[in-house]
Amino acid sequence: MSPRLAAPRCAALSLASAALVLALAGCQRSQGGSTASAPSTQPPAIAALAAVPLGDVAGGHAPAAAADPNPFHNQPEAVAEGRALFVKMNCAGCHGYDAKGAMGPNLTDGYWRYGGAPVSIFKSIYEGRPQGMPAWNPALPPDDIWKIVAYVESLGGSYPAGGLAASVQGDTPNTAYAPEVQRVLPAGAKQPKEAEPSAANNPPEARPDAGGKP
């Protein structure tokens, strides 16, 4: 083959190869559905997170993974991506566009049915919860779920990493909180009302047929 004929063919092959490389790179970037922010720490293993219980642990010894921080905590880019995913995945349709509650609970007020520590929030999104919360695994990869957690943390109603026991305390106001819960309540959280008088302090009236006064 003459050099004159070979040159255009080589150029065409080079362009085709370049186009293929760009196409493959584009497919790789699209996996996961978000942009390029990277975690500041190694994300916890999913198998370790699976061992973290929903409620209090008998004896008070929670698995070590319960205290793991969000690998995207305090990263502005990750928070912005989490906010975008919150809207894109229609989390806002249930929790409100300000995350202050609609048909789903408020995510800013410090009250959490299944825990407001980073690992607890991740598990609620990843695994789903009864009464309307779908499981977002495998629709969202773990990194994207952590970014949504970072957005929720930025709203001020969550609990610090390691606050698992304190964060599992119900999602409705007027709860009588344990002392360790009071210590980690977010600033501005609603305070519980005084506990109702106990039955011991207010004995029932004596029944006439039991020999008491009518």
Average predicted confidence (pLDDT) for the chain: 74
Residue 159 above 70 pLDDT?
yes
Note the pLDDT tens digit of each residue in 62-113: 788 888 999 999 999 999 999 999 999 999 999 999 999 999 999 998 888 8
Q: Give the pLDDT band (50/70/90) at residue 54.
A: confident
Note the pLDDT tens digit of each residue in 169-186: 554 455 555 555 666 666
What's the pLDDT score for residue 195? 43
For residue 49, how far is the Cα from the chain centroid? 12
d(CA 106, CA 114): 13
Whether the Cβ atoms of residue 49 and residue 100 lie closer than 8 Å to each other:
no
Whether the Cβ atoms of residue 88 and residue 139 lie closer than 8 Å to each other:
no
What's the pLDDT score for residue 63? 84
Which secondary-structure segment (H or E) carries 51?
A: none
d(CA 21, CA 2): 29
Residue 206 above 70 pLDDT?
no
Percent of the chain whose predicted confidence (pLDDT) is above 90: 41
What's the pLDDT score for residue 49? 92
Whether the Cβ atoms of residue 158 and residue 116 lie closer than 8 Å to each other:
yes
Residue 132 above 50 pLDDT?
yes
DSSP assigned state of 40: S
d(CA 115, CA 16): 53
149 class by beta-carbon count within 10 Å (0-12 exposed, 13-18 middle, 19+ buried) = buried
Residue 131 corresponds to which tokens in the numbers above? Answer: 């009464």
Contacts of 67 (CB under 8 A, 6+ apart): 119, 161, 162, 164
Note the pLDDT tens digit of each residue in 15-30: 444 444 333 333 333 3
What's the pLDDT score for residue 140? 97
Q: What is the DSSP string of 105-126?
A: PPSSSS-BSS--SHHHHHHHHH
- Domains, the chain, ordered by start: 37-184 (1.10.760.10)
Residue 201 above 60 pLDDT?
no
d(CA 64, CA 119): 11
Secondary structure (3-state) at 42: coil
Residue 52 above 60 pLDDT?
yes
